[in-house]
């Protein structure tokens, strides 16, 4: 084997010795009284130069022997390869050897000596080798080019030595970037309050406002050189390339604010919903993503953009107050469909979210009334030890019709068969329901809910009465009751339970209240709901009241109008949402958040008068709800950590709102 090594092993310290020699010479000629010292310096420098060359030669021979011991002929194989090669110590990062091709791509003339790989290639990390991989996961930039790095690791003298090969993939990376930037993105744009906006307007006025909205949409889309097509009276189809998406994102989909400035005859502002599909494997998948996006936007109240990609959903907008858009026609259709669905069920099980409250138990009682009128056995699945409506459960359980209605999820799983119908009320999220096992056990699932749809929702439901414009789930169930059950078939306790849930969710008809809400309340009152019973159900005991005011006492104003209470450990779960409600009664407070530790989880309740969307804030932390009422349950954490994350989410939301207002001006 050739013992002559490449110049990489010769320490390039000649320049340093020349400089030192020059200084010694200058000292000799310009400092006569120090000539003896200068001569000594020259002798020492010559000795160091000779010693350095001898040491370098020995080191090179030692390394060559090591390379030769790894594999017969390895030296010539690595040296003669057309690829740039570098060998380094993974522990210290010190370069042990490299061929001329690697020296060339590194852009240096002199050979490396006692340099670290990170000093030569700052963007390179060799962690992938230690993880047992043979290929670097990402291209590495070096000298204005992109390289795919391959390699392996060997153990020598308790040190790991890495041998890496650098393949130039610059053209591939550029073509791939161009391909990714030019991928099509599909969007569906919907004027989601078309009928309400144009109601009461003359044909001329309709033409003017629709023309203005159309011009704003075309102007917004025109910046991308995409294709925009209006395919229905209130729908547009828009295709653009991926590299324009960041521009729309930075503008926070300004089209939403732009169109909102158009006002109809009744003072209703025009609102758009945008569904965007991207990252799909095929154009058909992108279109399906866009359709899911627009469906999600509508289910969350409209006036927002929802992006659906291969990873999930992203939400933008959703700042305006929801406007009631429901009609009696839809309620009648949904009631009829639910009645038919009950006819095929062998038994009915009603379940809500964990920590069931008055709205969920009241709605469940309404479903029980419908199932009883249909002649079907019915059960309410609830954890009687962990809920926020214990007094309502006890009141209903006292009635003969509810003697064996309340059961545990374990009993429900054992009793349910292939024809059983599971009705999920007051939630659409599978991760917060009372029992995920029961959900998976039932083939037929119906959902009745008024909360905005989350990224993860119950899919493939055979029946879904989901309306984010409703004040409560009790309101939706009451509307179905009007078409399905005679007044004589309703128990007073059931109507009182429904009215209690409706009053609680509307904070005494002060929040999220529309004309349909009062219609539902009036129907329940005519059907026998007792306000005295409702008042008693809404009463709290002394311990709960004390816990509620304890949480309020530690509240602070975090940002203008936003109050946060970070209570400690409490056993009284119901005091948390009650404290959040009470904080809204303080002058100057329009939004409140209350967090407390309950056993092994942190519970957060958020309330708003409407100017701040608490659902968007808590959704970032894994919670959900509606614009003015939202909640969060976090396991395995503590109050301080959750409060810290909550404050960050509030800051992000408020800063985005401030930025949006400035852009609007």
Q: What is the 3-state secondary structure (H, E, C) of 350-395?
A: EECECCECHHHHHHHHHHHHHHHHCCCCEEEECCCCCECCHHHHHH
Does 123 map to a domain? no
Does 275 map to a domain? yes
CA–CA dist 357, 353 (Å, integer): 9
DSSP codes, 116-145: BHHHH-TT---HHHHTT-SB-SS-EEETTE
- State the residue range of the domain holding 524: 328-538
User: Is residue 545's pLDDT more than 50?
Assistant: yes
Q: What is the DSSP letter of 609?
A: S
* Best CA proximity match to 511, nearest among 650, 612, 365, 587: 612
Boundary of a domain, candidates 50, 71, 92: 71
Boundary of a domain, candidates 71, 104, 125: 71
User: Is residue 385's pLDDT more than 70?
Assistant: yes
Q: How many domains does the chain have?
A: 4
Does 350 map to a domain? yes
Q: Which helix (H) or strand (E) element contains residue 147?
A: strand 145-156
What does the block give as tokens for 398?
A: 């006292």
296 and 379 share a domain?
A: no
CA–CA dist 188, 192 (Å, integer): 11
User: Is residue 62's pLDDT more than 70?
Assistant: no
558 SS3 class: strand
Order of strands across the sheet that contains 406-407: 406-407, 378-381, 348-351, 421-425, 444-449, 463-466
Q: How confident is the model at residue 5 (pLDDT cuts 50, 70, 90)?
A: very low
Give the pLDDT confidence score for residue 110 in this predicted structure: 57
Give the pLDDT confidence score for residue 457 in this predicted structure: 86
Does 165 map to a domain? no
CA–CA dist 17, 8 (Å, integer): 18
CA–CA dist 429, 458 (Å, integer): 6
Boundary of a domain, candidates 516, 538, 560: 538
CA–CA dist 256, 262 (Å, integer): 11
Give the pLDDT confidence score for residue 88 in this predicted structure: 87
Beta bridge partners of 276: 187, 307
User: Is residue 455's pLDDT more than 50?
Assistant: yes
Give the pLDDT confidence score for residue 6 in this predicted structure: 39
Give the pLDDT confidence score for residue 73 in this predicted structure: 44
Does 360 map to a domain? yes
What does the block give as tokens for 143?
A: 């000298």
492 and 377 share a domain?
A: yes
Contacts of residue 177, Cβ cutoff 8 Å, sequence gap at least 6: none
238 and 372 share a domain?
A: no
Percent above pLDDT 90 for the chain? 46
Give the pLDDT confidence score for residue 131 in this predicted structure: 83
Residue found by looking up tokens 């709901």 in the block: 529
Give the pLDDT confidence score for residue 72 in this predicted structure: 46
Beta bridge partners of 98: 86
| pLDDT tens digits, one per residue of 499-517 | 999 999 888 888 778 888 9
User: Is residue 58's pLDDT more than 70?
Assistant: no
Give 458-464 contacts, CB < 8 A, sequence gap 24+: 458/424, 458/428, 458/429, 458/430, 461/424, 462/341, 463/334, 463/337, 463/338, 463/341
Give the pLDDT confidence score for residue 50 in this predicted structure: 73
639 and 552 share a domain?
A: yes
Residue 467 Rama label (left phi>0; alpha psi -120 to 50; beta): beta
Give the pLDDT confidence score for residue 421 in this predicted structure: 96
Does 143 map to a domain? no
User: Is residue 135's pLDDT more than 50?
Assistant: yes
Q: How confident is the model at residue 467 (pLDDT cuts 50, 70, 90)?
A: confident
What's the chain's average pLDDT?
Answer: 85
464 and 568 share a domain?
A: no
* Best CA proximity match to 134, nearest among 149, 118, 123, 119: 149
Give the pLDDT confidence score for residue 29 in this predicted structure: 65
Highest mean pLDDT among 261-265, 344-348, 428-432, 614-618: 344-348
534 and 547 share a domain?
A: no
517 and 548 share a domain?
A: no
Q: How confident is the model at residue 44 (pLDDT cuts 50, 70, 90)?
A: confident
Does 120 map to a domain? no
529 and 546 share a domain?
A: no
Give the pLDDT confidence score for residue 261 in this predicted structure: 87
295-299, 389-393, 548-552: least confident range? 295-299
90-99, 324-333, 496-505, 536-545: least confident range? 324-333
More confidently predicted of 393 and 42? 393
The pTM score is 0.65
Does 322 map to a domain? no
The dihedral built from the CA positions of residue 437, 442, 443 and 448, taken in this order, carries a sign that is negative
Residue 367, domain CATH: 3.90.1640.10
Residue 212, domain CATH: 3.30.70.270
Residue 637, domain CATH: 3.10.310.30
More confidently predicted of 274 and 11? 274
More confidently predicted of 28 and 7? 28
More confidently predicted of 51 and 553? 553
586 and 533 share a domain?
A: no
290 and 426 share a domain?
A: no
| pLDDT tens digits, one per residue of 200-223 | 888 999 999 999 999 999 999 998
CA 287-290-295 angle, 5° bins: 130
385 and 258 share a domain?
A: no
Q: Where are the beta strands (DSSP E) in 267-377?
A: 272-277, 304-308, 313-317, 348-351
260 and 355 share a domain?
A: no
**SS3 assignment for 82-121:** CCCEEEEECCCCEEEEECHHHHHHCCCCCCCCCCEHHHHC
104-118, 225-239, 356-370: least confident range? 104-118
User: Is residue 174's pLDDT more than 80?
Assistant: yes
Give the pLDDT confidence score for residue 4 in this predicted structure: 38
CA–CA dist 491, 219 (Å, integer): 58
Contact (CB, 8 A) for 273 and 302: yes
Give the pLDDT confidence score for residue 530 in this predicted structure: 93
């Amino acid at each position: 084997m050739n013992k002559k090594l490449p110049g990489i092993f010769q320490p390039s310290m000649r320049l340093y010795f020349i400089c030192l020699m020059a200084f010694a010479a200058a000292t000799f000629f310009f400092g006569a009284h120090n000539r003896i010292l200068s001569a000594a310096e020259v002798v020492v420098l010559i000795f160091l130069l000779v010693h350095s060359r001898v040491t370098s030669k020995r080191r090179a021979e030692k390394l060559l022997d090591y390379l030769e011991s790894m594999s017969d002929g390895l030296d010539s194989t690595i040296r003669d390869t057309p690829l740039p090669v570098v060998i380094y110590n993974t522990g210290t990062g010190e370069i042990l050897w490299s061929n001329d091709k690697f020296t060339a791509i590194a852009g240096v003339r002199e050979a490396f000596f006692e340099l670290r790989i990170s000093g030569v290639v700052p963007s390179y990390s060799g962690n992938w080798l230690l993880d047992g991989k043979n290929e670097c996961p990402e291209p590495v930039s070096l000298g204005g080019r992109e390289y795919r790095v391959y390699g392996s690791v060997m153990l020598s003298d308790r040190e790991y030595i890495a041998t890496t090969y650098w393949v130039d993939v610059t053209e591939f990376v550029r073509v791939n970037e161009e391909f990714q930037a030019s991928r099509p993105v599909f969007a569906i744009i919907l004027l989601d309050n078309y009928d309400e906006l144009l109601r009461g307007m003359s044909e001329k006025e309709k033409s003017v406002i629709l023309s203005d909205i159309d011009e704003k949409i075309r102007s917004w889309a025109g910046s991308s050189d995409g294709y925009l097509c209006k395919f229905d009276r209130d729908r547009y189809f828009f295709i653009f390339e991926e590299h324009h998406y960041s521009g729309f994102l930075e503008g926070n989909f300004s089209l939403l604010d732009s169109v909102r400035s158009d006002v109809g005859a009744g003072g209703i502002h025009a609102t758009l919903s945008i569904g965007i599909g991207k990252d799909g494997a095929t154009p058909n998948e992108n279109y399906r993503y866009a359709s899911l996006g627009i469906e999600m936007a509508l289910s969350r109240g409209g006036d927002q953009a929802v992006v659906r990609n291969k990873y999930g959903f992203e939400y933008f907008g959703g700042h305006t107050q929801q406007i009631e858009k429901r009609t009696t026609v839809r309620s009648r259709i949904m009631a009829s469909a639910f009645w038919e669905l009950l006819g095929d069920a062998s038994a009915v099980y009603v379940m809500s979210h964990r920590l069931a409250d008055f709205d969920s138990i009241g709605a469940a009682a309404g479903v029980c009334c419908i199932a009883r009128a249909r002649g079907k056995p019915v059960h309410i699945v609830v954890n009687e030890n962990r809920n926020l409506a214990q007094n309502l459960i006890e009141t209903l359980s006292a009635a003969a019709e509810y003697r064996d209605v309340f059961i545990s999820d374990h009993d429900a799983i054992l009793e349910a068969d292939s024809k059983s119908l599971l009705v999920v009320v007051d939630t659409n999220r599978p991760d917060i329901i009372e029992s995920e096992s029961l959900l998976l056990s039932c083939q037929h699932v119906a959902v009745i809910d008024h909360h905005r749809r989350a990224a993860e929702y119950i899919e493939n439901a055979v029946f879904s009465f989901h309306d984010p414009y409703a004040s409560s789930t009790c309101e939706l169930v009451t509307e179905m009751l009007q078409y399905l059950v005679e007044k004589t078939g309703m128990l007073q306790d059931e109507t009182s339970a429904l009215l209690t849930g409706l009053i609680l969710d509307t904070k005494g008809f002060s929040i999220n209240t529309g004309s349909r809400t009062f219609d539902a309340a009036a129907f329940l009152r005519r059907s026998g709901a007792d306000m005295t019973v409702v008042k008693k159900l809404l009463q709290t005991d002394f311990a709960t009241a004390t816990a509620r005011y304890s949480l309020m006492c530690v509240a602070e104003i975090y940002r203008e109008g936003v109050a946060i209470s970070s209570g400690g450990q409490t056993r009284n779960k119901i005091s948390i949402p009650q404290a959040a409600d009470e904080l809204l009664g303080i002058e100057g407070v329009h939004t409140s958040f209350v967090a407390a530790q309950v056993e092994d989880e942190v519970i957060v309740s958020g309330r708003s008068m409407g100017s701040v969307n608490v659902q968007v804030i808590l959704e970032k932390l894994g919670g959900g709800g509606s614009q003015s009422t939202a909640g969060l349950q976090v396991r395995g954490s503590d109050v301080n950590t959750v409060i810290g994350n909550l404050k960050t989410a509030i800051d992000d939301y408020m800063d985005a709102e401030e930025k949006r207002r400035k852009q609007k001006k």
